Amino acid sequence: MTSPLIKGNAVIAQSGGPTAVINQSIVGVVEGLRGPDEIGKIFGSRHGVRGLIEDNLVDLSAIDQTTLDRVANTPSAALGSTRDKPDADYCARILEACQKHDIRYFFYTGGNDSSDTCRIVNELSNEASYELRCFHVPKTIDNDLVENDHTPGFPSAARYTGLMFMGDQLDNRAIPGIKINVVMGRHAGFLTAASALMRDRSNEDGPHLIYIPETAFDLDAFVTDVERIYTSLGRCQIAISEGVQDASGESIGARLIKGEADAHGNAQLSGSGALGDQLATLLKEKLTPKGGKAPRVRADTLGYPQRCYPDASPVDQAEARISGRRAAEAARSGDIDGSIAIQRASDNPYQPKFVRVPLEAVAAKTRYLPEEHKQGDNDVSDAFVEWLKPLVGPLPEIGRL
């Protein structure tokens, strides 16, 4: 039986693509660790767990509340992040670093890869009989963690995406044409679905077509879908996930780019406008009547603002902060480990609950858009938008003439 509180140091690290609220989570951890009984030092590890193995730690113990609050409200990862995906060997070096620095509390904010790192480090520490309390604090704009209703970072990204589509569909009404917007999310369609946040179907608002990675994407059906909307409304706004794939599981972006000359260099999809541009070219070719004028087709790839535009959802900010605090409080309460999941305590009024779940329950698993949130092959349901709305903060009202 271990003591509820163990003296020793703590370390916090951030992983994967930054978000608008991941700093809230690390500040929450710091606040949660600052109890009446001091545990020891609180280290920040620079650039994820790489800071541990490269001995690049920063002491966060004495940082004043004003600075903490300012950091919490700043997007991106203030400690730096990493794309490293540690294997067992890498994790062993993480554990060594913890032992070297007398670290007894290990907090990692990130997605399913980070929860897996947490799980491995935790197992290694158990095997070594070194008491290390390992906690995962979820963070991903993709919202693809199982056990969670939603994950910190997603509501702010959904807010950005929904507002971007609102402005963009009004733009598309003002100067009609076909507009393709490519949204982040390789495997799960939550963020692409968020394009519908501000849509008023009774006004024939866009997005008119929504393509998520969970539904097989067919290029011919796509052209037919767009043609139908464009013929009927004289405009068409499309939301498409960067991760759409065909029935065989091949990425559409990779397939379209493969047909291209070598000048593209490679089939990199993220941080590139290639998928949108290729689809725009395809639509122009297919929808131009013989001897006629090509329709006006434009493509935007939403890019990094989805995860870093400084207009976070206040709900997301508060929840990310609490997630960090709960992880720290749980770690102080005994020799336990886990991931802090956000679940929905009630729908109306919206009320979250924060639940500790086992690392193994979350680690390296992927959650997909539930069936009741899909509608046909190219839309999301109103139930999805109802589910999303309480998470994204105050929204503007659309005025029309």
Q: Which residues have a catalytic role annotated?
A: 142
Residue 363 CB neighbour total at 10 angstroms: 21
Task: Concatenate the DSSP letters of all residues of 181-228 into one string.
Answer: EEE--SS--HHHHGGGTT--GGGTPSP-EEE-TTS---HHHHHHHHHH
Q: For residue 344, what is the enclosing H or E element? A: strand 338-347
Query: In angstroms, rounded to a whole number, what is the distance separating the alpha carbons of residues 45 and 87?
Result: 18
The residue range among 3-11, 56-64, 212-220, 368-376 that interacts with its own copies, by the rule CB under 8 A, is: 56-64
Q: Which of residues 223-252 bind its own copies (CB under 8 A)?
A: none
185 φψ region: left (φ > 0), alpha (ψ -120 to 50), beta (else): left
Q: By C-beta, is 205 or 329 nearer to its own copies?
A: 205
The least CB distance from residue 381 to its own copies, in Å, is 24
Q: Which of residues 301-330 bind its own copies (CB under 8 A)?
A: 301-305, 307-311
Judged by CB under 8 A, which of 3, 290, 371, 400 binds its own copies? 400
Judged by CB under 8 A, which of 9, 25, 45, 81 binds its own copies? 81
User: Do residues 366 and 347 make contact, with C-beta atoms less than 8 angstroms apart?
Assistant: no
The residue range among 119-127, 223-231, 270-278, 347-355 that interacts with its own copies, by the rule CB under 8 A, is: 270-278
Q: By C-beta, is 73 or 99 nearer to its own copies?
A: 73
Q: By C-beta, is 303 or 390 nearer to its own copies?
A: 303
Q: Does 23 bind its own copies (CB under 8 A)?
A: yes
The structure tokens listed for 246 are 């065909």
Q: By C-beta, is 286 or 365 nearer to its own copies?
A: 286
> Could you tell me which of 347, 387, 344 has the C-alpha nearest to residue 148?
344
Q: By C-beta, is 7 or 70 nearer to its own copies?
A: 70
Interhelix angle for 112-127 vs 88-100, to 10°? 60
DSSP bridge pairs for 180: 238, 299
Q: By C-beta, is 49 or 357 nearer to its own copies?
A: 49
The least CB distance from residue 213 to its own copies, in Å, is 20
Judged by CB under 8 A, which of 264, 343, 366, 372 binds its own copies? 264
Residue 228 CB neighbour total at 10 angstroms: 13
Q: Does 20 bind its own copies (CB under 8 A)?
A: yes
The residue range among 136-144, 300-308, 318-326, 352-360 that interacts with its own copies, by the rule CB under 8 A, is: 300-308
Judged by CB under 8 A, which of 9, 10, 11, 18 binds its own copies? 18
The least CB distance from residue 178 to its own copies, in Å, is 10
Q: Does 36 bind its own copies (CB under 8 A)?
A: no
Residue 166 CB neighbour total at 10 angstroms: 20
Judged by CB under 8 A, which of 271, 336, 370, 383 binds its own copies? 271
* Omega cis (within 30) before 207: yes
* Omega cis (within 30) before 349: yes
Query: In angstroms, rounded to a whole number, what is the distance separating the alpha carbons of residues 139 and 137?
Result: 7
The structure tokens listed for 29 are 């951890």
Q: By C-beta, is 97 or 184 nearer to its own copies?
A: 184
> Residue 27 corresponds to which amino acid?
V
Q: Which three-class secondary structure state does DSSP give residue 353?
A: strand
Q: Does 78 bind its own copies (CB under 8 A)?
A: yes
Q: Which three-class secondary structure state does DSSP give residue 336?
A: coil
Q: Does 58 bind its own copies (CB under 8 A)?
A: yes
Query: In angstroms, rounded to a whole number, what is the distance separating the alpha carbons of residues 258 and 266?
Result: 8
Q: Which of residues 171-190 bind its own copies (CB under 8 A)?
A: 171, 173-175, 179
Residues in contact with its own copies, total (CB under 8 A)?
76
Judged by CB under 8 A, which of 52, 98, 164, 197 binds its own copies? 164
DSSP bridge pairs for 391: none
